[in-house]
Chains A and B, each alone.
Chain A
Amino acid sequence: MWWTAKSSGVYAGSCEPIVAWDGTPQHLKDTLDTDRDGFAAVILCPSTIKPFEPQTFKDIMDVAQSHGTLVIFDEVKTGFRDALGGIQEVMGVTPDITTVSKAMGNGYPIAAVCGRHEVMDVMPTNPSAGTFSVEAIGLVAAIETLRELEAKNAPAHLRAMGQRLIDGFNQIAQSHGIAVEAFAEPIPQMPNLRFTDPNEKTANKVKDMFFREVIRRGLFMIDWHMHFINFSHQAGDIDQALEVCDYVLGQMKRTL
């Protein structure tokens, strides 16, 4: 589902009932107003909501509720990272349904659909099953992982390490005068880079050089996605990563 609209071979009509919105409360209202009874639910990935602040989330919830529409938060990516209760805890809202996965399994296959009773109570009347639906390894992993995340207050550590990476990187990039910037997307636990040269061709060239070279110098980064700070990252690991960035940006400055 998450990737469906981007895949070839998917019948365009199957996506038709889904109306895209831009993540702002106003556009949500305008969209829902086009068909007051026609929308079953609003689904959003909290990290894409702009501005990323409690008021926006409250406004979105209000708009949806006043239109009698359920709100689903896809916290697959964001869950457990900034707070154990996800972005919704940080923003002080409670959607009707939430999906979580990634961070709760520590790499093991697990996902969960959670929601308030009135909504979840229909599940037994809509039975579903799958080949691996009674597989337990992911559940065991999730229980252990959640215990660790809570006992060690992982979100605070992830935030601190992410901020260290972002601040350190920006200092280095500035000192070399290379047009690249690290930023929280939108939380420091999910840092990303943007290549800011106003000339798009130059920006792409800088980007290409950077990612090719850091891998050859012992830092595995990806050029098409935000990164994720892991609980195993310690200050020393972040600093080593910054050393590689410093070296590579220094080399680039000489060749650019």
Chain B
Amino acid sequence: MTTNTARPAVAAYTFDRSKQLFEQAMQVIPAGGQATRLPPYEDYPTYFQRAKGCRVWDVDGNACGSAAGAINHQTRQGRTQRLPRMV
């Protein structure tokens, strides 16, 4: 298992880039993504950039552990939790 971050994150994450992209996306896509669910909170990692195992990295560079995969529609993360063989 790779550990890229000390956990819990000592300095609380910020989500400025997610917010910015969300505002842009809202101009052209209802709810800003594939799902018709809005981000539940103002501070939210709405867009993920990459994933490995059960870890996801959002567009602000925040690393998160996730147990939300396998239902892909709650955020715009696509297939985040995949076997290395299939990448």
Residues of A whose CB lies within 8 Å of any CB of B are 77, 102-103, 106-108, 141, 144-145, 148, 165, 191, 211-212, 215-225, 227-234, 236-237, 240-241, 243-244, 247-248
Residues of B whose CB lies within 8 Å of any CB of A are 1, 3, 5, 7-9, 12-13, 40-41, 43-45, 53-54, 56, 62-72, 74-75, 78-83, 85-86
Question: Can you name 18 A-B residue pairings with CB atoms under 8 Å?
Answer: A102-B71, A106-B79, A106-B82, A106-B83, A107-B72, A212-B43, A216-B12, A217-B7, A217-B13, A218-B5, A218-B9, A218-B62, A218-B65, A222-B40, A223-B40, A228-B68, A233-B54, A244-B65
Interface of B is mostly: loop
With A215-B44, A218-B13, A220-B65 as known contacts, state yes or no: A228 contacts B71, CB within 8 Å: yes
Residues A231 and B83 in contact, CB atoms below 8 Å apart: yes
Min CB distance A157 to B, Å, is 12
A243–B41 CA distance with the chains assembled, in angstroms: 22
Q: Between A and B, how many residue pairs show CB distances below 8 Å? A: 124
Instruction: Name which residue of chain B comes closest to A81, CB basis.
Output: B70
Given contacts A107-B69, A218-B62, A241-B67, 11 further A-B contacts (CB under 8 A): A107-B80, A108-B79, A217-B13, A218-B64, A219-B8, A220-B56, A220-B68, A228-B71, A232-B54, A232-B81, A237-B54
With A107-B79, A233-B54, A237-B65 as known contacts, state yes or no: A243 contacts B43, CB within 8 Å: no
Residues A215 and B8 in contact, CB atoms below 8 Å apart: no
Min CB distance B15 to A, Å, is 8
